[in-house]
Structure 1
Amino acid sequence: MNKTCSSISALAAQNSELEAAIRTAQKMLAAYGDPAGFDIDQYARGYGALSESLRILLRALDAEPAAEVVSPIGDTAPRCPAAHPEDRTPCGGPVAVTVLDRHNAGAKGCEHHGARLLASLDGARVYALPDAPDGAAIRVFKDAGSIRPFPWVAGPRTRDEQLSRDEVRKRGERP
């Protein structure tokens, strides 16, 4: 009898997780499903929200993808979850940090991609994972200050939101 009850409880918990994942995916699709008229910041937020809701849904179905992915540019390489699909740079070591956006959606990543993600998100913050090397979050935070948002996107950048925090800070200083 106890075994049956625990099986029913496990099924109910799994069903609850799946229902929550479906609701999250539906909300994100409604909010970000049509990127028409999005600027680069809105597009990035939409991409992040939709990919995270897909991860939640796959996790609830116990069908998460393997760590190795095929990027849109045709390369096959192990990538950390913080690496943007259009970012061609390789990971810079083991997964060491979590980057959270202002809505607490997050991605774990190597220090290199963690810094690039942190630089690309407005209001984001970084935390070291428990097994990270000493100072990992501080290095990511400092590196992100010198990185322009979405560094893999080519083109001229003149507005403050297109520049690194260090560049914006220098603009505001008077000689």
Structure 2
Amino acid sequence: MIHTSIHSVDNPADPSALAVAARVAQLLLAEHERVDHRDLFAVNRAHGALTEALRILLRALDAEVPRPGKLDDLGERCPAAHPEDPTPCDGPAVVTILDSRNAGANGCEHHGARLLASLDGGRVYPLPDAPEGAAIRVFTAADGTRPFPWMDSPRTRPSQRSRAENRAAGEDR
């Protein structure tokens, strides 16, 4: 007779829960260990995968941090937030930002605008439950936002300035 048992991830005393969590973490780390940091979407996917792996491990150890009702209470931000951008979200994810190859990330208005400003050929779409005008506000904010605005480097080339700055100077980005 073969004896099998089902182990719950919610039971921290269950050694198989930890083993499963460790295996998931290993797989996610292997998949996202090497990321082209020039690809914002790859960086965001890797960040999300590694964050989830840590959550699973903490849950298996019964040390999970309670998830707040408000984004950013524990440093968690929307998927459109670049890992090097220190600014907090300004609310829930309300838009999807797509790059020229249709890879995308959902974001709050603030990070959506910053991501859109950092992309060539990016587009913004409202999520189904977004407040009216969210995509327009993101598009408008992105127009006046410099690419990678958290970087403190001189902005001398058109690709380093906002679209609005380039229009005022008569240059295309």
Common topology (TM > 0.5):
yes
Bigger radius of gyration: 2
Name structure 2 gaps, 5 residues minimum.
1-27, 57-64
Instruction: Kindly provide the CA deviation profile for residues 134-168 of structure 1, in whole angstroms up to 9, marking residues without a partner as x.
Output: 00000000000000000001111110000000000
Instruction: Kindly provide the CA deviation profile for residues 34-59 of structure 1, in whole angstroms up to 9, marking residues without a partner as x.
Output: xxxxxxxxx532x4335437758999
Name structure 1 gaps, 5 residues minimum.
1-21, 33-42, 69-74
1:52–1:105: 8 Å Cα contact kept in structure 2? no
Q: Which amino acid aligns with 1:98?
A: T
Provide the aligned C-alpha RMSD in A: 3.5
1:4-153 equivalence runs, <5 A: 32=36, 43-45=37-39, 47-52=40-45, 76-153=74-151
TM-score, normalised with respect to structure 2: 0.63
Equivalenced residue count is 134
Distance 2:150 2:51 in 1: 28
Distance 2:43 2:88 in 1: 23
Residue identity (%): 58
Residues 158, 113 of structure 1: alpha-carbon distance in 2 compared, 3 angstrom cutoff = same
Distance 2:44 2:89 in 1: 19
Q: 2:158 corresponds to which residue?
A: 160
TM-score, normalised with respect to structure 1: 0.62
